[in-house]
Structure formats: C-alpha cells, structure tokens
Chain A
Amino acid sequence: MAEAVRDRWSNKATFIFAAIGSAIGLGNVWRFPYLVQEYGGGAFLIPYLVCVVLFGIPWLMMEFGMGRYFQKGAPGVFEGIGKKWEWLGWWPATVAFLIVGYYAVILAWSLRFVISSVTMEWGTGRAGAEAANGFFYDTILQLSSGLGDFGSIMWLTVVCLLLVWAVMFFSIYRGAEASGKWHILFVILPWILLVAVTVRGMTLPGAMEGLNSYLSPDFSQLTNPDVWFGAASQVAFSLSVGMAGMFAYGSWVAKKADITNSTVIASFGDLGTAFLSGFAVFSVVGFLVQGLNIPMSDVSTNSLGLAFVTYPAAVSMMPGGNAIVGILFFLSLFTIGVDSAFFLAHGGVIAPLTDKFGWSVKKTTFWVCVVGFLTSLLYCTQAGLYWLDIVDRSVSFYGLIITGLLATLVIGWKFGADKLRLHLNSTSDIKVGPWWNWLLKLVVPLGLLFCVIYGGFVQDLAYLWDSSKTEYGGYGLGSLWIWGILLITLLISIGLSLLKSRKKGDK
C-alpha cells in the first residue's frame, strides 16, 4: 500500500507564524513581564537569553527536527526510536489534552470580560477599581469554599467556552495546510491589539514610573537561583516545548525547509511579544498605583490576578475610553491565547491520534473538541479555579518538565544527538557544530532537572520536614491530586502505546 501523503504547512511563512503563535501565549502577558520586574528588571534579560540559547532553542530544534525526520507526531517519533518508547510520546500528548482543557476556560473568561467591558459591568472610577477583585472572584467565578465544593455551573462562562471550542474546531478540522490563515491572523491581530493597548497605556499618568519598575536593572539579582529558575521555567513554558505539539508541527514542515533558522525566529518572535507585553502591562500598573496612591506591592502583577483584577481596575480608573481599552485588552488576551490552544489540541492531541489510528482529521477534531469541552466544564464550576490551579501544577509544571527531561535523554543518547544535528544541518543555513550535541545531551536535561527539583520538589514537599509550611497552595490532602493526575496521565499513555495502530486505508 502506498504511504499516504502527509499534511504540510502551505509555505514557510505559515510554519513560522504557527510556531510563533503556539509559543506566544498568556504567559507572555502575565508571567514574563512579572519575572522581569521581580527579578532584576532589564538585567533579567541576561539569564533569559542564556536559557533561550542554551536550553530553549536546542529543545525546540529537537522537537521540530525529530517530527520532520520521522514524519510523525510525538508518539510516532518515539515509536520510531523503539516501540518500547512510544508511551513517552503519548505522555506529553495526554498532558497537552489536560492543559487545553483549562486553557480554553481562561480564554472563555477573557471573552466573558470582553462582554462585561462593553458596559463596564464592574464599575468605573475609584469605585470600579475597588470592585474589580470582587467582580472576578464573586461574580464571574463565584468561588466556593474549596476543592470538593463544586456548587453550580457558571452558564455565561459555558457559553463563552462553547465559542472557544467552536473557534478551535473550525480552525483545525481541515488540517495543517488549511489552518495556516488562522495562525497568521492570530499572531498579527494580537500584535496590533497589544500595540494599541501599549500606546494607550504609555500616555497615562504614572506610566513611566511603572516602566521604571519593569525595566530598571539590578545586576545583583543574577546570583539569585530563583532568577535562573524563573528564566529557565519561563523559556520551557513559553516555547511550547514538552507538550507533544512541536513534533507534529515539525512533521508538517517541507523536507527541504530550514528548521534551525525558523526555530530562532520563533524563539525571538516569542521574546519580542513578551517584552512588548511588559510595556502594555506595567504602563497601566504604574497608572493604577499612582491613581490609587498605593505601593506597587499592593497590586497583583502576574497570572490571573493581573489579567482579571489589576487590569480591569486600571481600566476603571482611566479618564476616558474605558470600555474600548477593556475590550481591546481582553480581545488581545483571547487572540494571544487561542493560537496556543490550537497548538495543544491539533499538534498535541489530534495529530498523534490520526497518526496512530488512521482516523480522519475532521472526525478526530470533532471528538477531541467535544470531549475537551466536557472536560473544561469542571473549571466552570464554583470550585473551578482550585482545580485549575492543581491541574496546572500537575501537568503544566511537572508533566511538561518530566516528560521533556525523559524525551531529551532518549533522543540525545538513544536516537543520537549527532544524527539529529546532521539532519538539521542538511537543510539549514545556520550550521550547528558538535557542541550542540552536548546542549541536547547534558545542558537541556540538567536545566530541566534543576527546574523540577528546585521549583517543584523543594517547594511542594518542603512541608514534610518544615512544619511552618503548608502543602502546595494550602490545599492539604487535595494537593495529592498533583501526583494522582500525573500518574493517571502516565497510565493512559502506556495504555495508548499498547493499542494496535492502524494506518490510513487499512480495513
């Protein structure tokens, strides 16, 4: 039987936009700027650049290169190395499925805030700024008392969630080639929106103080291991490696295309977007703290607190055009994140399933979106935020880093870093020397080991020998779900690898 023709990105630009789009995500807006401000201002760029060059780019080159070499998504790549390794491709795929489940809900909250911004539902002026916290936690989330108290479903969030999954389905179901225009749209549109929001932010009083806080360099921070953990983990999370999808994205690249060059472009395009986001965020934070006459330490400058409390509070305080700025910001948040959601669903989950079982992309996309939507409903309950926090720690931190660590070891030592390097160099203008092998075989795994031990085990298990500390997030026994969920994803991955594969056209 003739081998089926594999789907392809329609051209190099589409591939680069898809790679940048998958890399640019919510973390560019709500984590990178925070890390810069917290860990040395402009000086943080030094550890970040070191980690991008020595750690992020080799890892991303590995995933693209292996995908193209085997013309398969993650499970097919590891099956190609040896049948006994196939589970190692399914593990990040399972992780990607769980991540997209809650990622879609955060996008749904962004859409919910677009709607609320039209009427400035949480209020304007100082009263609105003070009501922003309650609006998010008490009105949008209606947060319950704990993990087991599910309460009711937030139906308006569910409607927004349905829209998110519908956008994902219609963007993906015709395959990689047809999805190209969506990737281009969802990279260029958020750039335009971010620039608009940044320009507005920088014209506000107090903006320059905010930017001083963001960028003023403090080189003494470079000896702080927290800074290096922050940089390494941000590179790992931001480049979308360790989530299976980049193997599939690489498998859709033309055989003569230059992967090394595209990898560097994607990595620095991602960094540029994150750096720009910092101007959008801290100009507005500076305006807010000046308007409320409070220290910056009193406002949340990262994660959900930044996006859904601090920013709405600042929008309330703006002298004019509040609704427009609110709509633009939350639309930019949605458009920044939706491309990452495509990536997780398409490259991370759908491609491995179609590769293994020979199902059609359309049918697989439909069922992945349906099951993904149903999974997402957990986070639309009143306990949703607690579960999101636990699952995020389980799969997006431990899952991503541990599977990435194992993958780089197997590829670097078993498949052979040199073999991969020669494959990449055969079509690249930028040739990498044998030194690159050691980045893949040693530097990347050691970097990941540092992240999982220093940022993971040391923090989460500290309570075992230090009675003054509480279990992760103060969740008590609930924090055991972090390990339970990780174990379940591993068992599912082993199960999937044991199933018999079916090629397209087989009866």
Chain B
Amino acid sequence: MTGAAIASAIVGWLIIIGVLAFCFSKSGNHGEWED
C-alpha cells in the first residue's frame, strides 16, 4: 500500500474509533432505562 493510502486508513479509523470512544465515555444517564 502507498503511504497516502495507509494514512487515509489510519485517519479514517482514528476518527471512527475516537468518536465512538468519546460517546461511550459519556456515562451520564446511560444506565437509566426506567420510565
């Protein structure tokens, strides 16, 4: 793979994993499931 393609793959995964990690780190009221 070329360096540019590898960089695209890394940046893509970092963004996806970073956003998901941020959302999962927000504990807040996630546990509440009662009306």
Contacts and interface: CB of A to CB of B under 8 A. Distances in A.
Interface of A: 8, 10-12, 41-43, 45, 49, 208, 211-212, 214-217, 254-258, 261, 264-265, 268-269, 271-272, 275, 427-430
Contact of A430 (B1, B16, B17, B26): B26
Report the 3 A-B pairs with minimum CB-CB distance, sorted nearest first. Answer: A42-B8, A429-B28, A215-B5
B29 A427 contact: yes
Contacts of A261: 23, 26, 28, 30
A42 B11 contact: yes
Contacts of A211: 1, 5, 9
B2 A212 contact: yes
A215 to B, nearest CB: 4
B27 to A, nearest CB: 8
B9 A42 contact: yes
A212 B15 contact: no
Given A265-B23, A427-B29, A216 B16 contact: no
Contact of A216 (B4, B23, B26, B32): B4
Contacts of B17: 272
A162 to B, nearest CB: 36
Contacts, number: 92
A255 B34 CA distance: 7
Contacts of B28: 258, 261, 428-429
Contacts of B16: 268, 271-272, 275
B5 A256 contact: no
7 contacts: A10-B33, A212-B1, A217-B5, A254-B34, A261-B28, A264-B19, A429-B27
Contacts of A258: 26, 28-30
B15 to A, nearest CB: 7
Nearest to B16: A272
B20 A265 contact: yes
B20 A254 contact: no
B25 to A, nearest CB: 10
B35 A49 contact: no
B12 A275 contact: yes
Contacts of B30: 12, 257-258, 261
A429 B24 CA distance: 11
Q: Which of A10, A216, A271 has the most CB of B within 10 A?
A: A216
A211 B30 CA distance: 38
Contacts of A269: 20
Contacts of A217: 4-5, 7-8
Name A's interface SS.
helix
Contacts of B19: 264, 268
B4 to A, nearest CB: 5
A196 B3 CA distance: 25
Contacts of B9: 42, 211, 215
Given A42-B7, A258-B28, 6 more contacts: A42-B11, A254-B33, A258-B29, A264-B23, A268-B23, A429-B29
A208 B1 contact: yes
Contacts of B8: 41-43, 45, 215-217
Nearest to B13: A275
B1 A256 contact: no
A269 B13 CA distance: 11
A182 B23 CA distance: 24
Contacts of A49: 15
B7 to A, nearest CB: 7
A261 B31 CA distance: 13
Contacts of B34: 254, 256
B35 to A, nearest CB: 5
B29 to A, nearest CB: 6
A146 to B, nearest CB: 42
A216 B27 CA distance: 37
Contacts of A430: 26
Nearest to A270: B16
A191 to B, nearest CB: 13
A216 B32 CA distance: 44
B34 to A, nearest CB: 7
A214 B12 CA distance: 12
Contacts of A10: 33
A49 B8 CA distance: 14
Nearest to A6: B35
Nearest to B24: A265
Given A256-B35, A257-B33, A268 B20 contact: yes
Contacts of A275: 12-13, 16
Contacts of A255: 35
Nearest to B7: A42
A49 B24 CA distance: 19
